[in-house]
Amino acid sequence: MNRLHTSILTGGLLLSPVLITVEELIRTTADTGYVENEADPVADASSHLQVVADHLTLWHAAAYLNLAFLLAWAIALLAVTFVVARTQPVLGAVSGLLGLVSVLGVAFHWAFYYLPLASLAQVDDRDMAAHAASTYGDDTLMVVALLMFLAGTLLAVLTAGFGLWRAHALPWWGAIGLVVWLGYVFAGPEARLAALLNLALLLPFVGVAQRLTPSKDTVLELEPAPA
């Protein structure tokens, strides 16, 4: 792995927690005023579309940041897979597959959440737009996409943490960062201040960045001595 590869992987590791934190803060700011109404899906969708229309610039900014996060997240999880696979190839493969699921889930979230709401919020016939928006989530495909986004990302991070621990590449402060990040999962994506907990991923990711270039001892251990 040359310096360019290491720089790209390190960039993904360091940027992804920052991007998702800023994106979530902007999104929840744009969502201020949204009143959830589980009893009436149309009224619920209409309320959401109204706040998106009122803060369309913020909504677009959050969407672009989420797209940038998608790229950085893919690179970060690839870096984790490289580090884990050096000494734990099976865990590395599992971590990589779950990382792929998470990345696809984030892509589905961007396509099925940000895009339709941004488009429908600009439709003049608000009643028609609200009825269209209220139908999202009724199909099994949407449920699968949501599970890939939520459960896939949770499992990807937990598996990555376990793999890094087994590979002796997770320092104690990195483990604390993973535990703190779990607070975001339990607090929920609508808790605005909880978005800051995403920054806790910087701790384990810094540990991964430090392990991207194997030490001489690691190289000697991985390469068998000549006969």
Lowest model confidence (mean pLDDT) among 52-66, 83-97, 186-200 = 186-200
pLDDT score of 183 = 80
CA 102 and chain centroid, separation: 7
Task: Answer yes or no: is pLDDT of 221 > 50.
Answer: no
- 25/20 Cα distance (integer angstroms): 9
Question: What tokens were used for 163?
Answer: 């793999």
Residues in CB range of 201: below 8 A, 6 or more apart: 16, 17, 157, 177, 178, 181
Per-residue model confidence (pLDDT) at position 123:
84
Residue 218 has what pLDDT?
47
**Do residues 167 and 83 touch, judged by C-beta distance below 8 A?**
yes
3-state SS string for 27-96: HHHHCCCCCCCCCCHHHHHHHHHHHHHHCHHHHHHHHHHHHHHHHHHHHHHHHHHHHHHHHCHHHHHHHH
d(CA 136, CA 26): 23
Average pLDDT on 159-178 reads 94
Residue-level pLDDT at 208:
95
> What's the confidence (pLDDT) of residue 203?
95
Confidence at residue 227, expressed as pLDDT on a 0 to 100 scale: 47
Q: What is the pLDDT of residue 219?
A: 45
